[in-house]
Amino acid sequence: MRIVLVGPPGAGKGTQAAFLAKNLSIPHISTGDLFRANISQGTALGVEAKGYMDRGELVPDEVTIGMAKDRMEQSDAEGGFLLDGFPRNVSQAEALDVMLKAAGMKLDAVLDLEVEEDEVVKRIAGRRICRNDSSHVFHVSYAAPKTEGVCDKCGGELYQRGDDTEDTVRNRLDVYHTQTEPIIDYYKAQGLVVTISALGEVNEITQRAMDALQK
Ligand code: AMP
């Protein structure tokens, strides 16, 4: 299966993507994670991306599309993939269509995670992520770790993403509405969009997503 996950920052895309990719036995490809890995390795791509990310802006398409394409062309993605955070605007969606068409492939579904704006800001401001594994996500009040600052799952250090501050979150939401939301109509025109509510327990949402994808 080839799936795109969309939803505002804080909808739980990363958390759901990790579970869904595991259930469906396909790789989870997150452009945000790829950028963060480049930043921590100090690559030229990371240096270029960092300023945009810190401001909550989109990294330019020239950089992003090439990076996503390289990842999708790796052998583990031959049988399918779950894209998390890509495409994030209509020109990236068009580039993805061109890429897939050239390879004789197509998308199977676009899963749209719906959540209210106030909830998003609360979720993101309290979000803490494990340095060892970005799918180990906690929240200072909703899902607090047993020991502050320590991942329950692997003992890794928990940190707050530099772009999870309230100002940057507001900017990321604006960017989502103006640049990313239009891809939902773009994919609706192709009959690919499945919308589910992203409210509730993590495993409930995963089940909802699996049911919706199976339909
Ligand atoms: P995420 O982890 O998906 O929330 O992404 C974090 C940040 O990485 C975003 O706010 C953007 O600055 C950048 N980013 C991730 N994916 C993309 C993309 N497809 N296009 C442009 N910028 C991106």
Q: What is the pLDDT along the chain (215 residues), one digit of tens a residue?
A: 999 999 999 898 998 999 999 999 999 999 999 999 999 999 999 999 999 999 999 999 999 999 999 999 999 999 999 999 999 999 999 999 999 999 999 999 999 999 988 888 888 889 999 999 988 999 998 899 999 999 999 999 999 998 898 888 889 999 999 999 999 999 999 999 999 999 988 899 999 999 999 88
Ligand 1, residue 60: give the atom nearest the CA. 21
How far is 196 from 16, CA to CA, in rounded Å? 12
The pLDDT of residue 165: 86
How far is 112 from 102, CA to CA, in rounded Å? 26
Instruction: For 137, list phi and psi in degrees, rounded to 5.
Output: -115, 135
The pLDDT of residue 170: 87
Buried b (16+ CB within 10 A) or exposed e, 13-39: bbbbbbbbbeebebbbbbbbbbbbebb
Residue with tokens 């997503």: 209
Q: Tell me which residues have their CB closer than 6 angstroms to ligand 1.
A: 9, 31-32, 35, 52-53, 56-59, 64, 85-86, 88, 92, 163, 172
The pLDDT of residue 201: 87
pTM recorded for the entire structure: 0.90
The pLDDT of residue 190: 97
Ligand 1: distance of its center to the CA of 32 in Å?
5
From the CB of residue 167, how many other CB atoms can be counted at a distance below 10 Å? 10
The pLDDT of residue 168: 87
| Class of domain 2-214 (CATH, top level) | alpha beta
Q: What residue owns the CA closest to ligand 1's atom 2?
A: 32
